[in-house]
Amino acid sequence: MARLDSAAANTMLNEHNVEVSPTPTIRCDTAGEYTVDFDDNDPRDPANFSYRRKWMITLDACLFTALVGAAASSFSMGYDSMIVDLNCTQFEATVGLSLYALGFGLVPLVTSSFSEEFGRQPLYVVCSFVFMLTQIMIALSRNIQTVIIARALGGAFGSTGATLVGGSIADIWRPHERGLPMALFAFMAVAMTGLGPAIAGWISANPHLQWRWIQWISAMFTGVYFISVLVVMRETRSSIILARIAQQLRKESGDNRYRSRTETERLSLLTLIKMSCTRPIYLLMTEPTVQCFSLWIGFTWGVVFCLVESVSPEFQSIYHFGLGETGSVFVTLIAGSCIGFCLNIYQEKLYAKYYPVKKQEARLYLPCVAALLFPIGMFIYAWTASPNIPWIVPVIGLTIFMTGAFVVYLVVFLYLADCYGTWASSALAGQSLCRNLANFAFPLFTQQMYARLTYHWASTLLACLSLLMIPIPYALFFYGSAIRRRSKVSKKLLEADEASVKRDNTREEKPQQA
């Protein structure tokens, strides 16, 4: 395939009376088809966006993550008034919490295909608007069935705030630049899960507001966010932008030979959906790295949702906290996220220093420490919740636990993205499926477990199970490269990377020899 330089491309376009600025790179194949691509410094390439635009897009996308994270957990703070108002049971209210997570786990398997076909920007617009409507639907509900349906729909459309954001960051930031944007994404996901209940607790405690106003206020914030999406968000998927450029060239020149590579290789939407639904399952079944991290993050996030369910009754019964004070306990999720965010700055320095030796496993220094913090925090929370011990002590335990949970959440995205390259979205979808299925299941038995085992032994059980997860980061730290070389998909990706490095080295040697 011959590549036309800028002058030749300009000449060819002028012959068709087409003005395109900047001039794209055009390659001509043996069949006479013209393949449109970005030039090296083309500002339309998302990777070449200005830093200001990159950060505006990143912040806007992460705000959606914050909203859906806050809505996920704040719902539980309205249980008491909801049960009275709608004449429902505690379990029925809990189903609303769980189905939100189920939508998060299943729907992205389909919506990821839509982002490939239609782009990311339309999904942000549509999903944020419908997400706002689901919150209004809950606020206006007259029975628990309507609430449950609206929560399921809210999880389905809100899942974009958890699944597309990582892809948007990968679109505009180069691999060595992604550490801080991904840390911000993880911070929004984890910290806002704590800020939501902290605010909702005081709203629910007000007899003039209660559970409906938790949803109304959330809907107001989402409405403001929807406006920001229309103003700030831009398309970040390069294949969609190139397809639009090629379409413009065909329209203005009348020559149908202009095509982007994705248009030439494009699969049907049905095929894309089939691939996006089956490939994550395939990786879960065959790739030990994906299996290990999916198990770890699934258990971790399941325990986080257990805590969302257990904190209110525990602090109300032991320390006689009111709803507002109980909600304030969830600030521990924010504190743990802040500590984890700061620790990640040091982890990024370790990654830069040891990457030449450890490769992708250089991401795992801090997770090896986090694996120990997780059970330590749980044991402190389990055995210090007592009228004879100040309430701040179990709160410290929760903060230690959430520091470890934040690190685990962040490293899963970074490590799997590094290891699986072009298959990263499928690997991340697999762990997301496990994580959200755990979020769906854990709250359904949390109240019963704490009632039968007591607060001490129920949390101790979770802490003991977390001890079984400690070997995961250590095994991957020391043997991750060897494990990936023995697995089918990872082996192919490693061989492709090595071949690419050899080609680059060969190109550098030839000019020197000349």
Q: Which is higher by pLDDT, 7 or 424? A: 424
**Average pLDDT for residues 209-232, to the nearest whole number?**
92
Alpha helices (H) in 206-268, listed in sequence order: 210-232, 238-253, 261-265
Rounded to whole angstroms, the Cα distance separating 482 from 486 reads 7
Measured CA to CA in angstroms, residue 216 lies from 139, 168, 211, 222, 307 at distances of 6, 29, 9, 10, 25
Beta strands 25-28; 2-4: pairing state: antiparallel
496-512 b/e (C-beta count within 10 Å ≥ 16 → b): eeeeeeeeeeeeeeeee
pLDDT tens sequence across 156-204: 888 887 777 877 887 888 877 877 888 888 888 888 888 888 888 888 8
Asked if residue 447 has pLDDT above 60, the reply is yes
For domain 46-235+269-499, the question of CATH label 1.20.1250.20 is answered with: yes
pLDDT at 285: 81
DSSP state of 358: H
Q: Check: CB of residue 63 under 8 Å from CB of residue 214.
A: no
269 or 366: whose pLDDT is higher? 366
Element (H, E) at 26: strand 25-28
- What tens digit of pLDDT does each residue of 147-157 get? 999 999 998 88
Rounded distance between C-alpha atoms, residue 510 and residue 503, angstroms? 11
Would the CA dihedral through 139, 144, 150, 151 be positive or negative? positive
For the chain, what are the domain ranges? 2-42+238-266, 46-235+269-499
Q: How does the average pLDDT of the chain come out, rounded?
A: 80
In this predicted model, which residue has the larger pLDDT, 248 or 157?
157
Confidence of residue 134 (pLDDT cuts 50, 70, 90): very high
* Helix axis angle, 365-384 to 424-467, nearest 10°: 40
